[in-house]
Each structure stands twice: as structure tokens, then as C-alpha cells.
Amino acid sequence: MSGINYLTQEGYDKMKSELDTLKTTGRQDVARAIAEAREKGDLSENAEYHAAKDAQGMLELKINDLEKKLANVRIIDESSIDTSKVVLMTNVRVLNHKTKKEVVYKIVSEAEADLKVMKISATSPIGQGLLGKKVGDTANIQTPAGLMTFEILEITA
């Protein structure tokens, strides 16, 4: 992933904190598990040792991934966002024509996406379909669940 990652200050701080935790506590826990498994004897048939080594590999992969993302990060100042159209970091209040319900989505980068708090990735089908739209526009978006129609009601920072 060599592209630029656009994050809020909050998203950057969260990612940096996760990386610091993985590098300290995570590595210590894995090293402890490997040492304990090593004490149990023959390594060639020691399932705990192999599982701990696999966990170490996964941990290092995650650390490497976070380091790459943080190396290419651009922090967006949310106070300077243009709200005349849907762009990264805007909140969009939409009316779903099928369900007749209003929903507010925040358009964010993949690294910050979290549907539980209504933060959707700009690269998701809905995110892509909403980008560039203005208040009053209608977006017809093809999703895995079928065609969805949204009316843009409000755009805020």
C-alpha cells in the first residue's frame, strides 16, 4: 500500500497508539509465549512453539502494515473542508429511498472506516457513489445488496 492515507488527527493518534502497543506489549507477549513453548522440549513436534512462531509472524506483519500506512499519512484539517459537495471527511445526511429512512455517514479513508459508528470508506460502493454529489442530488449506487438510491439532504464538516 504505497498510496497516501488521509486521516483525521484522531485516526492518526489511534493508529500510532496501536502501533506502539504492538511493538511493546505485543512483542513481549509473543516472546514470552515462544520461550515457554521452547522449554517444553522437542521443537519439531511442539505445536505450541509453532503456533507462537506463527503469532509472531502475524504480529510483525501487522506492525509492518501499520508502519507503511503511517509513513504515507496526510492529516486533514477538518475545519478547512469544502462542504459544497461530498468529499473525504464530510458528514452526509442522506435519505434512503427504499427504506424511507435518513442516515448520516462520515466519508473517511479505509484506515478509519467503521460502520458501527457510521464511518464509511471513500473506496466502498456507497462512499464512491456519494463522492462529488451536492445537496439535492440523487445517487444510484450498485451495492452487493442491490441498487440503492440516496438523496443528499445535507453536507457538513
Q: Are residues 69 and 85 in the same domain?
A: no
Q: Are residues 23 and 47 in the same domain?
A: yes
Q: What is the mean pLDDT of residues 36-60?
A: 88
Residue-wise pLDDT for 116-131, tens only, equals 999 999 999 999 999 9
d(CA 94, CA 134): 11
Q: Which residues span the domain enclosing 112?
A: 78-156
Angstrom CA distances, 22 to 19, 27, 28, 66, 125, stand at: 5, 6, 9, 10, 32
- Residue 88, domain CATH: 3.10.50.30
Residue with cell 440516496: 150
Q: Are residues 84 and 105 in the same domain?
A: yes
Contact 98, 91 (CB under 8 A): no
* Residue 90 phi, psi (nearest 5): -90, 155
- Residue where a domain terminates, one of 75, 110, 136: 75
- Residue where a domain terminates, one of 51, 75, 99: 75
Beta strands 119-121; 138-143: pairing state = unpaired
Q: Are residues 58 and 15 in the same domain?
A: yes
**Which pTM value belongs to this model?**
0.71
- Residue 71, domain CATH: 1.10.287.180
Q: What is the mean pLDDT of residues 30-37?
A: 91
Residue-wise pLDDT for 54-94, tens only, equals 999 999 999 999 999 899 888 888 778 888 999 999 999 99
Q: Are residues 58 and 95 in the same domain?
A: no
* Structure letter (DSSP) for residue 100: T
**Structural domains counted in the chain:** 2
d(CA 103, CA 118): 9
- Residue where a domain terminates, one of 19, 48, 75: 75
